[in-house]
Amino acid sequence: MDSQLSGMTSTCSVEAPAENVTVLCDQAIFTSVRTPMGEGYRVIAASPGLSAQEKTEITKQSPSHGGLCASDDQATAVAFYQLPGGRLCAALSCAAGKEQSGRGGLRVYTRAVVFDGESFSAFAYNPFNVLRTIAVHGLNTPELKPEKTLPTVELPGNSARRADQTITTISRVGVDWLSYILQSVLTNQRLILAGEGDPSCLVETVILGIPGPLRKNVSFACGLKFSIGRAPTLTGIIGDTKAAERMICGHPLVLVRPQADAPPPPFERGQWQRMVADYWTEAAYAPLQDFVLREFPDCSLPVLERVAALRNDTNHASVSDAAELLATLERRVEQADADEFEQLLLSDLFRTIRMRLEQIWSQATEPELAADWPALVALLRKSPTAFRHTIPLVGLVLRRLASTTPPAALQRALELSGKPAARTIRADLRAVLDAVEAWLPQADAAERRRIDKALAKWPEAFPGIA
């Protein structure tokens, strides 16, 4: 039931989870019981709102005898997938006493909860929030003699996920492995994640690196033995992998064993993956969620890559030198006519560049400012759009020069002659004149003659600024 992630072009509107919001859900129980109607694994009870197609899919996705990775009476598993028609299903499976059919071993019991995709935002677009809510409300407790018709259930929305779970996952497998899995998901590669620990935290960490509405297309199963009939986007298995390795032979699936002391297979690092990896590396989990839950124009991979490239430029700008900042500004300034969402990101980028340049140039010497000046002026003259974004930076340099080397400030200012500059940085140009006037008494005769020649050009260069 997975959709192609890179093929999605629908609008990805995101709303923050509202307080006290409840989501009306249908439910189903899948297990093995003996009744007058027969025995064996099937949907033994369901809400009337579930369609026949939905119950068929739940049957296909739910584990039967021996379907859990663990074989003890505490064994559990979780799953998430999309149903025919677009509704979403979150399911908890567990051991429920001895198998009643005489085959030995433990009975497997699954409670599936079904809700509309439009309600996903109430759980911050995190299927694990749904699963946690199911457990908190006792729906994971086996009911082996339920009424055939189950009521709908109201689940409160929530967005709870402790940061320490992400920290533990990064410590266990490392950012490189997380990046590999994330990039695989974004490029539609189905993975089987093998290991000894609970794979749920690993899967949840990866999912939280994906834009909210896109997560409904990322199916997963954790703690279930692999089945080629299910084969979700991500399968987390524990213990022996030989059966899974045999089943995937000839299929487009990859089995990997993420662990911190072994590198992942080689992979191409996309812009989105690079962006999320930076957040993980810096332990900036809350800012990552703030960003991925913003309103994207759409969730197609080309758009995500373009958006992430902008975000990467912004993050890098906060530590770049002046030359790098001016190069980024030149490369990005003509994108000012981008769509509304990218325009917001561009504004973030330009604001970051301006703040960083203010920081750098407030401490720069005259030779350092002189080295940056040609690129700044060339950018100023590139286009009207470039002028609009660059002229405040020009004014910043002139003020800095005026405070350190007034003759240099005067010389640079005259290179900008023209009405546009005179109108836009009038206060900065006046600051240059004031600084030169204050500096003149200490000038020698030769310096005074040079200044007088320069000042003679001023009225023509900047009429109205005496």
- Maximum separation of any 2 CA atoms in the chain, in Å: 114
Asked whether 393 and 328 are in contact (CB, 8 A), the reply is no
Q: What is the pLDDT of residue 206?
A: 96
Asked if 37 contacts 123 with a C-beta cutoff of 8 angstroms, the reply is: no
145 and 181 belong to one structural domain: no
Q: Identify the pLDDT of residue 466.
A: 72
Q: Residue 466 domain-assigned?
A: no
Last residue of a domain, one of 259, 291, 314: 314
Q: What are phi and psi of 82, to 5 degrees?
A: -100, 140
Number of compact structural domains in the chain: 3
**Residues 369 and 282 both lie in one domain:** no
The structure tokens listed for 180 are: 């590999």
Q: What is the pLDDT of residue 161?
A: 65
Q: Are 84 and 53 in contact (CB under 8 A)?
A: yes
Residues 167 and 310 in one domain: yes
Last residue in a domain, options 126, 158, 190: 158
Based on the domain organization, do 191 and 303 belong to the same domain? yes
87 in Cβ contact with 120 (< 8 Å) = no
Are 192 and 283 members of one domain? yes
Q: Are 57 and 202 members of one domain? A: no
Residues 310 and 323 in one domain: no
Q: Does 348 lie in the same domain as 382?
A: yes
Same domain, 450 and 349: yes
Closest CA to 142 of 206, 76, 218, 47: 76
Q: Say whether both 26 and 141 belong to one domain.
A: yes
Identify whether 271 is part of a domain. Answer: yes
- pLDDT mean for each 10 residues of the chain (466 residues): 38 50 94 76 94 97 91 91 97 86 80 95 93 89 89 86 78 94 95 89 94 94 92 92 91 92 92 95 90 86 92 94 95 79 90 94 93 92 88 92 93 85 88 93 92 91 82
Structural domain boundaries, residue 421: 318-461
Are 298 and 338 in a shared domain?
no
Q: Are residues 348 and 238 in the same domain?
A: no
Q: Check: CB of residue 28 under 8 Å from CB of residue 43.
A: yes
Domain membership flag for residue 423: yes
Burial letters for 344-380: b for 16+ Cβ neighbours within 10 Å, e otherwise? ebbeebbebbbebbeebbeebeeeebbebbebbbebb
**Alpha-helical regions (H) of 333-416:** 340-361, 366-380, 384-404, 406-414
